[in-house]
Structure formats: C-alpha cells, structure tokens
Amino acid sequence: MVNPIQIEGRDPLEDLNRIINEPILSHEVVGPCLSHLERYRNELNDELDKAQNELESREKDLSFNENIKEKLRDLIETIESMQLRAFQVEKLVTEITVDIKQLDHAKRNITYSMTVLKRLQMLTVAYEQLKMLIKTKQYEEVTHLLQAILQLTSYFKSFRSVDQIATLCNNISELKRDLFEQACLDFENIFISPMDLNKKATQLLNICNMLDILEDNARERILLWYCNSQLREYRTVFRGNDEAASLDNISRRYAWMKRMLNLYDEKHVKMFPKSWNTDERLCRNFCTNTSEDIQEVLSRSGRNIKIPILLEALQKTLEFEQYLEKRFTSNHYSLTNTLSPKQESKTKTFHKNIENEIKNNPELMVTSSSTELFLYYQQTLTQYEKLSNEQLLFDFSYLFGKWLIIYAETVLLPTMDGKYSSNINICCLILNTSDYCYKTTMQLEELIKKMFLNVAGTSIKNLVKIVETNLSGSFKDMIKIDWSQLKNIVDQSAYVASMTSTLKNVSKKIIEKISIEKFIRIFCDKMVESFLDNYMFYITRCRPISEVGAEQMISDLYSIKMILLKLPNVANGKNIQVHISYTKFVNKQVSKIETILKLLLIQINSSEEFVKNYFVLIGDKNTSNFLKILELKGLRKQEQTHLLEIFNIHASQHSDLIDSSSFLDHIVLSPQTGTNISLPYYFDASNINSSIFSAGRENSERLHHNSTLINSESLSSSRLNEHFKGLFRRDSFLNTGYSK
C-alpha cells in the first residue's frame, strides 16, 4: 500500500504504477496521489508554456534584428544621398555668390570713392571760400570754415601721394601761414585804432578765437605783443630813470601795475578769450621785468644797501604778491626771492649792518633800561623773519648772544663795581635786571627756535605738496571710472597700482634725505592726513556710487592703507614694526572714509533700516550730512525727500545722537562746480607769528604783574611796534626812578 506521506518528492510515474497495480484502492491513498499528479501536470504545462514563449521570443528577436539592420542600411543610404545633394547645393551656391561678392566689393569701392571725391570737392570749395573770407577779413566766418577745412585736411593725410591732393594741402598750409600773419597785423592795427570799444572788442575776440583754431601756439605771438605794448611805458619810466627805479620807489611800480590791471578789467578783458588768461600773462611779464630791474638795482648798490629801505621794499613786495595771489588763486608769485638775502654776500651785508647799528648806537650800548636792547632785537627779528633765510637767522642768534654778553660786561657789572656797590637799591636793581635779562633771553631763544620750526614746517608742507602733485594723475584716473555701473569686484582698481607706486617711490626719495627721525614721523603724519583728505575729495567727485562701486572702493582703500602703514620704513627697505601710535593714527584716519563707504555699500531695501544703519555708523542727527550720503549714492530728489522724512522721525526718537559728524561737516557737495571738501588746516607755518605774540604776553605777565594784556585781535602792521613793547615790561630801573 502506498503511503500518502511519502508521495511528495517521489517520481509520479512510479507512484502512478503502484496505484494502478493495487487491487484495492483506498480513498485516502488515491486522493493525495491524484492531487499530486494534477499539480505535477500543471507544472509540466507551465514549463511547456515557458519554453514555448522563450522560443517565440527568440524568433521575434531574430526578426527584430533583421528589421533593425535593414532600417540602418536604408538610413545610411539616405544620409549619403543627402550629403551628396548638400555638396551639390553648396557648389551651386558658391558659383552663384561669386558674382555677388564681386559686385559687393565694387559697390563698396564706388561708395568710398564717392565719399572721397565728395570730401575733396567740399575741401576745394571751402578753400576757395576761405580765400574770399580772408580777403574781406570776416574772421568770425573764417573761424567756422577753418575748423571744417582742418578736419578735412586731416582726413586726406593718407592721400598725400596723389599729386592733386598734395598740391591742395600745400596751398592750404600756405594760406594758413598768410592768415596767421594777416590776423596778427590786423589785431595790432585794430587794437591801437580809435574805433568804438565794443566793436573793437568783438573784432579782436574773433581774431583770437580764429587763432586758437589755426594753431596751438598761435596765441603766443598776440600775448607777447600785447604784454610788450602794455609794458613799454613801464620799462621806459622805471628803467630810464634812476630815481624811479630805486628801491624806495618800488611802491610806484606796483601802483602802476594795479592801474594797468584796472584798465584791463574795464576795457581789454572782452578782447581776449577767458582761456588765454591774458591778465595773468601780463602780470607774469611784469614780475619778470621787475625782478630783473631789482636785481640790477641791488647789483649797483652792492654793500651800500640801506637795510630799512630794503625792508620797506620787501614789505611792499609782499603786499603786492598777496594782491596777485588773491586775484589769481591758482598760482603763486614770488617777487620776494629777488629781495631776500639768499646770496652769501647779501647775508653778510645784512649781518654787518645790524652789528654796526648796535655798536654805533649809544642808546643801545649804555641804556637806561635793558628793555630797549630787547625791543631792538624783537623788531629786528620781526623785520627779517619775512626774508625766510636760515643763514641770516643763525647769524642773528650769534650776534644777539654776543651783544648780550657785552651788555652784561660793560653795563651791569661795572655798575656793581663802582660807587653804587654799597647802594641797596642799585644792587637790587641790578639783581632784578639780571633776572629779567635771563628770562627774556630764554624767551628770545624760544622765539628764534619757533622761527626755525617755522622754516621746518614750511619745508614739510612743501614736501607733502610735491607728493600730492605726483599723485594728481592717479586721482584723475580714479574719477574716470563709472562707479555707478561696476558689475564685478577685483582685488584693486587699475588706478591703485600707479597711486601706491607713486606714493611709495616719491615718499622714499623724500624720507631718504631727512636725517631727523622726528621729522620723518611728522612728514608721514602730514602725508597721511593730506592724502586721505584728497582721497575723500575725489570719492565725492566719483558720485553717483553704486553698492558695487562702494565695495570696490573699500577694497582699494585697504590696498592703500597697507602702503600708508609702511610709509615710515619705505626708505630702509626693512619690514620693521612701526610705532603703534602711527598705526593707530593711520587706522583712525582710514576708518573715517571706510565708514562713509560702508554706508554707501548698504542697499536701500527698507528706508527704516537704512536710516538705522546711518545712526549706527555715523551717529549724528544732522539732516545736511544725511543728504550728503544720499547725494553720493545718486538718489533722485523724490527718494531723498522720502528718506529725509523717515530720518527726521527716527532722529527725534534717539537722544544719544550727536548734533553733527565733524568729518561729514567738512564735505561740501556743489552741483555747479563739482565737489569741494573744506579741510582743516593742520600745519600752517604762517601761524608762528600769533604763537610768538602769545608767548610774549605770557612772559610779560610773569615779569610785571601790573602790565596790561594785549588784545590779540588788534595786531595790525600799523601798530606792530606798540605791541612789541607790550611784550617786555619796563624793568626795575623805571620802578626805582633811576635814570642814567
């Protein structure tokens, strides 16, 4: 009997045979066996279906591959056919366009030839018209026509190999030379003619404008003739007469020139273009002639120069220089160099003159009051200080010391050794006078020191100006950049390389020649101040400045700051740590500009946020300063008005804001003349005089408690001697009633 449990896993054929051979079939045995056989049959059917499907799939794949190969062959044949047709079309198009290209070249050549011929015709016609206008002396029309002819002539420079064009250009050049000569003669004749002033001015102005078009230096002949004609009388009067040419009549020279300038303003100013600066040219020629005349007078005088007359002439010359510098603000005039004792011979003459005056003046040798001697010293120093001669000041210091010793040995000590040696009043008098001389000598020493510091200060100021002049080109390159249209940020702008190189190289030449470490530091400080003030000035000229532009400026400023920090060591070439105070000074000055740029860097997405950022960075409530920032950003008036309203609202809510930022106060934005920046003047050597007066008043109060204070506002040249007397008290000679 078949065990049903064993049916699983056995061969179905074997089980089937066994069941068939059993005579008696049990239901328990047949059921499982039938189920197993059914399941096995199903599995066989599944395997048959799978095998059949695989066979069909293989047949399909073979058929698909054959189709793909057939299609690829068709595609390749199509591509080859299209390529062949493309080559045929290209060849056909090339054959068609050959003629078109030839026609196009011919068209361009014809157009160019027509343009050349048309311009040649214009030049020929203009040349003939110009000849007619020159004959009729219509200089206003000549100016316009001449400008067109010069442009056309420039166009035909490359055609000079053509004989006809070369001949025409040569004729034009000859006509220009003839026109120049005729215009100059006409100018001279019209100028001296008695015709109506307005008509004369119009004609002369037309000639000047025409000459500017004719040649770059054509104006020089007119200016030279005008200056010579106007100064002819001056040369005749002041060179042909020894009395008029003398130094004591130098004020007449300057009065004559002032009258000439008044004449120019009244009658001649309309005869010349403003760009010619004719009045300034006239003044420069006058100064040259006057300087030559003064040199001649001094040469003839030799050692017989009268110092008071020379000093008076110097004072008049200084006043005239100031008058000229006020009229022509962009230039400096220095006639005093001619009068100043720069040469060794003149210095010795000045020195000897002063010594003889002290030696031969009995009131200075035996004086009833030592103040007379010091007052003379004071007046002498004040007079000669304006000569700005270092050697002369040094000689004076030696001379003053010499005669103070003589004063002590010949006036004070003999009094103690004589009949007054036992007189209490006289001994106390000498004691007080000695103390007074000691203190006043110290004061005189300080005065001379300050004069030398004045010279040193002026030198440093001039050195800083030299660097500024060399940097002008880099600053011009800076303002040529359109800071409102920058798109990308770079390490540094193009102008920074030349700016830092110039700053470093010029400063190096200067510092190498300064032997005192203290003055190197002063030069660096003043250079940093001046440079950063100029940099801020040119930043304002770069407006409007976008956010990207402000970010680029911050990057540029960082590169510049690195050079400024190394400035004290630029001469020795070593990376030595600079003094921490200098580093702090540079960082402080740079941070002021960085603050402005950081504010310009902020986008105005929210008006309130921008105003709050202004309060954080600037910290003032000045509406004018706020508007300056908006102007630098290039905002429209409507936007500025809206932001200003927000600013006023928030400013009233902040009690910790200052009234105004001192740095922004110095910035002035002018839409008419550009941008100006009012800078504090940190180093003005001319202020030394006020310092001397102040020091004098302090010493005077210590010496004499009853002396009155001097009102500093009343220090005028007409009362100079009176205020110098206030500098020194009358000593105890006067207090005791003693008189020599």
Q: Give pLDDT tens digits for 178-209.
A: 999 999 999 999 998 888 888 888 999 999 99
What is the arithmetic mean of pLDDT over 216-232?
89
Strand partners, 667: 677
Distances (CA, A) of 365 to 19, 359, 586, 734: 170, 7, 55, 18
- Could you read off the pLDDT of 467-498 as tens digits, one per residue? 999 999 999 999 989 998 888 888 899 999 99
| φ/ψ of residue 555, rounded to 5 | -65, -40
pLDDT digits (tens, 9 = 90+) for 340-354: 444 344 445 555 555
Residue 224 has a pLDDT of: 92
Lowest-pLDDT range, 31-40, 149-158, 695-704?
A: 695-704
Does residue 4 surpass a pLDDT of 50? no
Q: What is the pLDDT of residue 609?
A: 87
Q: What is the DSSP letter of 667?
A: E
Q: Which residue has the higher pLDDT, 367 or 594?
A: 594
The rounded percent of the chain whose pLDDT value lies above 90 is: 19
**Lookup: tokens for 132:** 């007619």
Weakest-pLDDT range from 119-128, 461-470, 648-657: 648-657
pLDDT at 691 over 60: no
pLDDT confidence band for 700 (50 / 70 / 90): very low
Which range, of 403-417, 601-615, 726-740, averages the lowest pLDDT? 726-740
234-281: pLDDT as tens digits: 988 888 667 777 888 888 999 999 999 999 999 999 999 988 989 989
- Band (pLDDT 50/70/90 cuts) for residue 716 is very low
Residue 90: which pLDDT band, with cuts at 50, 70 and 90? Answer: confident
Q: Which residue has the higher pLDDT, 404 or 459?
A: 459
pLDDT over 50 at 159, yes or no: yes
Short-list 375, 289, 397, CA closest to 696? 375
First to last CA, the chain: 176
The whole-chain average pLDDT of the chain stands at 77
692 pLDDT more than 50: no
Q: Residue 675 in 3-state DSSP?
A: strand
Supply the pLDDT for residue 706.
Answer: 32
Where residue 530 falls among pLDDT bands split at 50, 70, 90?
very high
Of 509-518, 615-624, 683-692, give the lowest mean pLDDT range: 683-692
Which range (357-361, 532-536, 687-691) has the least confidence?
687-691
| Single-letter amino acid, residue 419 | K
Cα-based angle 535, 541, 547 (whole degrees, multiple of 5): 85
H or E stretch at 126 = helix 27-136
What is the pLDDT, as a whole number, of residue 574? 58
pLDDT at 392: 60
What is the distance between the alpha carbons of residues 195 and 267, in angstroms, rounded to a whole number?
A: 13
Mean pLDDT is lowest, of 244-248, 283-287, 647-651, for 244-248
Structure tokens at 706: 């009853």
Q: Region 640-664: what's the mean pLDDT?
A: 84
pLDDT at 576 over 70: no
Residue 588: per-residue pLDDT: 92
Q: How far apart are CA 1 and CA 16, in angstroms?
A: 12
Of the candidate ranges 14-23, 149-158, 487-496, 543-552, the one whose mean pLDDT is the lowest:
14-23
Residue 102 and residue 126: Cα distance in Å, rounded? Answer: 36
pLDDT of 640 reads 86
pLDDT of 451 over the 80 cut:
no
**pLDDT at residue 356 tops 90:** no
- The span from the CA of 731 to the CA of 421, in Å, is 19
CA-to-CA distance for 586 and 377, rounded, in angstroms?
43
Instruction: Supply the pLDDT for residue 466.
Output: 92
pTM as predicted: 0.46
Residue 161: pLDDT band (50, 70, 90) is confident
The mean per-residue pLDDT over the stretch 559-588 comes to 85
Q: Give CB contacts under 8 A, 24+ apart, made by 244-252.
A: 245/293, 245/296, 245/297, 246/297, 247/294, 247/297, 247/309, 247/310, 247/312, 247/313, 248/309, 248/312, 248/313, 250/294, 250/313, 250/316, 250/317, 251/316
Q: Is the pLDDT of residue 686 over 50?
A: no
pLDDT greater at residue 628 or residue 30: 628
